């Protein structure tokens, strides 16, 4: 079954410290992986997706198919990074899988 | 302000009553989705529609109904059959394959 897990409900780090939000998935095929973020009083929005291989707001995420992981990383956390982060997956273009599955989310708190 | 809108922001309902949540988008997106967001459970898919006059059940469709008569609109009805309707409801849209979903601001439904 398709599933996304995020083992940490809450994660607190000090400003300037590295941060890693963990995400593991199960999917029979080649998935598309995403990270969505929800800042306080703002809409849920896409942060980044693995096919773009880009860095957004200093965050990066590498898809590790062997470990079925897509951890989100940032070398130096900032206070404005405090938010709820959701890992998500969908099927790739070659599949008819037309849904997105979201993980339970990790609440990141950056301590000044 | 374009994009995707949801109304109302807050909604109160008495037990036994049906209630309809509105979702409208002007992004010309073909696909629209309804999610339910509960603390610690992430986003769970209720219904989705890839095209006008067609929709599919998501993972938690029981007690909900939808319609897709227009491309721009995807209203969700929470029926009295839904056992635990108090939640935050999010609507989203995407153009075709769900590479990026655009979310509305949400509706918080409380059953009294």
B87-94 and B107-111 as β-strands: parallel, antiparallel, unpaired? Answer: antiparallel
| Subunit contact A32:B41, Cβ cutoff 8 A | no
Which residues of chain A lie closer than 8 angstroms to B101, CB-CB? 36, 46, 100
Interface of B with A in 56-85 (CB under 8 A): 58
To the nearest whole angstrom, how far is the Cα of B81 from the nearest Cα of chain A?
Answer: 25
Instruction: Please name the member of A51, A90, A104 whose beta carbon is closest to the beta carbon of B98.
Output: A90
Q: How many CB atoms lie within 10 A of CB B80?
A: 15
Q: What is the pLDDT of residues B27-52, one digit of tens each?
A: 999 999 999 998 878 899 999 998 99
pLDDT in tens, B66-90: 999 999 999 999 998 888 899 999 9
How many Cα atoms within 13 Å fall on the side-chain side of residue B81?
Answer: 7
Sheet containing A60-61: order of strands? A19-21, A72-74, A60-61
Summarised one tens digit per residue, pLDDT across range A44-74 is 999 998 877 788 899 999 889 899 999 999 9
């Amino acid at each position: 079954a398709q599933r996304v897990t995020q083992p940490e409900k809450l994660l607190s780090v000090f400003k300037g410290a590295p941060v890693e939000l963990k995400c593991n998935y199960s999917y029979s095929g080649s998935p598309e992986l995403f990270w969505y973020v929800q800042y306080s009083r703002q809409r849920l929005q896409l942060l980044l997706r693995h096919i773009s291989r880009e860095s957004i707001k200093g965050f990066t995420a590498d898809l590790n198919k062997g470990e079925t992981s897509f951890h989100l990383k940032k070398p130096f956390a900032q206070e404005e990074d405090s938010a709820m982060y959701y890992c998500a997956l969908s099927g790739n273009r070659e599949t008819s899988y037309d849904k997105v599955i979201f993980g339970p989310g990790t609440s990141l708190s950056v301590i000044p | 302000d374009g994009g995707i809108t949801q109304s109302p922001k807050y909604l109160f309902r008495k037990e036994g009553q049906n209630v309809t949540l509105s979702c409208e988008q002007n992004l010309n997106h073909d696909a629209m989705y309804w999610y339910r967001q509960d603390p610690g459970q992430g986003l769970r898919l209720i219904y989705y529609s890839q095209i006008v006059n067609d929709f599919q059940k998501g993972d938690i469709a029981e007690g909900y109904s939808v319609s897709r008569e227009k491309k721009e609109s995807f209203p969700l009805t929470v029926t009295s059959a839904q056992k635990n309707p108090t939640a935050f409801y999010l609507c989203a849209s995407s153009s075709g394959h769900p590479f990026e979903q655009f979310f509305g601001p949400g509706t918080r439904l409380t059953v009294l």
